[in-house]
Amino acid sequence: MISARGMGKILALACLLAACDSERTAGGSVETENVTALVVSVDSIAPLARQMGWVPMVATVRLDARTFDFDHADTNGDNLVVETMAGEPIAFAIHHWNSRERWARIEVRLEGDLLRKGAHFRLRNGARSLTLSDSGAVWAKVPDKFREQWTSVLVDDFEHGDLHTLLPDDSTWYTRWSDTAAISVPTLVPAEGGRTGTAIRFDYNAPALSGGYVLVGTTLASHPVNFGSLDSIVLYARGRGILSVSLDHHWAGGDSKTWMHDSLDSNWTRWRIRPQDFDVPNGVAGNLGWSAVHDSVTTLSIFAAGSGTVMLDDIRLFGMQYDDFE
């Protein structure tokens, strides 16, 4: 029996921020206590379709060097203040703060008057004693289903009758295989096995000992995507063989990737892949590791080695936003 790690090495041998979007923040700057503050329009970050009124809204604000004063910010954003235009504190949580690259993502709780059309609030640097990033306060009494929707991107649930993803780019799922391998055309089938709805299925034969592999993949956007805020990739899988999940960067001169490998189970299994779960970089098959690839990802690839059937369902990216892919 070849281990998943060993199979990963065989596979490797075989197949040798996010900037702040002005449309999303739509903010301006004002002087507050001699410190520049970013003023944010609620309408620009919380579309009316998501402002339900009966439940607090949590929206993501993007900061970068063009819109926020990182020179006077603490290394981890500990002196960040989020407040109403009248100076009343607003619950917020720092989802990601990168002082070196000068960008951040902040989750802000919106309720009451802040959900009225035309409302604004502001972010600025202040004193540490004035503020505290508190995820618990941000998400209090917000149903889990909304938290998942607002903090993740559903790549595909395979419930819409074709092999196009649900990403803004509307890309399709494609297949690739080595000379010693074969893969069927992926099809949409009932998930069964304890899951409802539809899943994607393919049959394959890719003997790892002969250097075989197959993959299904999709282009994520028309441009490289910064995955720096990624919490995890979550998907459901069942089948036989070794499955490898890869984030790739393709360019005219070649490609690179960061990937991980594990054994499939005949039962549906929830896979959760965090940045620290990817293999250490070794240069083989373009594996340069998370640090080298995460800020310019172009495709998502799912490899298989062995022989049998693979089924996949509900592929979701936690920590990302749909406009990352626009």
Please give the helix or strand (H or E) that residue 144 lies within, else none: helix 144-150
Boundary residue ending a domain (143, 177, 201): 143
> Does any domain span residue 173?
yes
pLDDT of the residue at 252:
81
Encode pLDDT of 218-238 as tens digits. Answer: 999 999 999 999 999 999 999
Enter the pTM of the model: 0.84
Same domain, 122 and 176: no
Residue 17 within any structural domain of the chain: no
Q: Are residues 136 and 235 in the same domain?
A: no
Do 164 and 136 fall within a single domain? no
| CA separation for the pair 297, 218 (Å, rounded) | 12
pLDDT score at 208 = 78
Where residue 48 falls among pLDDT bands split at 50, 70, 90? Answer: low
Task: Enumerate the β-bridge partners of residue 59.
Answer: 108
Whether 191 and 129 map to the same domain: the answer is: no
Q: What is the mean pLDDT of residues 277-302?
A: 95
Q: Which two tokens stand for residue 30?
A: 């004002």
Residue 241 lies in a domain: yes
H-assigned helices in 26-104: 42-45
Q: How many domains does the chain have?
A: 2
Cα–Cα distance between 296 and 226 in angstroms, integer?
A: 5
Are residues 303 and 194 located together in one domain of the fold? yes
Residues 251 and 292 in one domain: yes
DSSP 100: T
Last residue of a domain, one of 115, 143, 171: 143
Would you say residue 12 lies in a domain? no
104: nearest Cα among 120, 123, 130: 123
Answer whether residue 315 is part of any domain.
yes
Phi-psi region of 35 (alpha: psi -120 to 50; beta: other; left: phi over 0): beta
Confidence of residue 29 (pLDDT cuts 50, 70, 90): very low
Confidence of residue 321 (pLDDT cuts 50, 70, 90): very high
Q: Is residue 88 one of the residues assigned to a domain?
A: yes
Question: Given CA atoms 203, 214, 1, 5 in this order, what sign does their dihedral have?
Answer: negative
Q: What is the CATH number of the domain that holds 252?
A: 2.60.120.430
From 116, 143, 170, give the residue that closes a domain: 143
pLDDT at 106: 96
Chain-centroid distance of CA 24 in Å reads 18
Residue 245 makes CB contacts below 8 A (sequence gap 6+) with: 233, 235, 259, 260, 271, 273, 300, 301, 302, 303
Residues 238 and 125 reside in one and the same domain:
no
- The answer as to whether 14 is a domain residue is no
Per-residue pLDDT, 253? 78
66: left (phi over 0), alpha (psi -120 to 50) or beta: alpha
pLDDT of 128 above 80: no
Residue 9 within a domain:
no
Distance of CA 277 to the CA centre of its chain: 15
Q: Which two tokens stand for residue 309?
A: 């059937």
What residues make up the domain containing 253? 152-325
Rounded Cα gap, residues 15 and 21, in angstroms:
37
Distance (Å, whole) CA 259 – CA 7: 13
| Structure token pair of residue 202 | 């393919």
Do 178 and 80 sit in the same domain of this protein? no
- Return d(Cα 187, Cα 203) in angstroms, integer: 10
In a shared domain, residues 88 and 167: no
Mean pLDDT in residue range 132-149: 90
Question: Do 275 and 304 share a structural domain?
Answer: yes
191-209 average pLDDT score: 95
Shared domain check, 188 and 313: yes
Whether residue 172 sits in one domain with residue 27: no
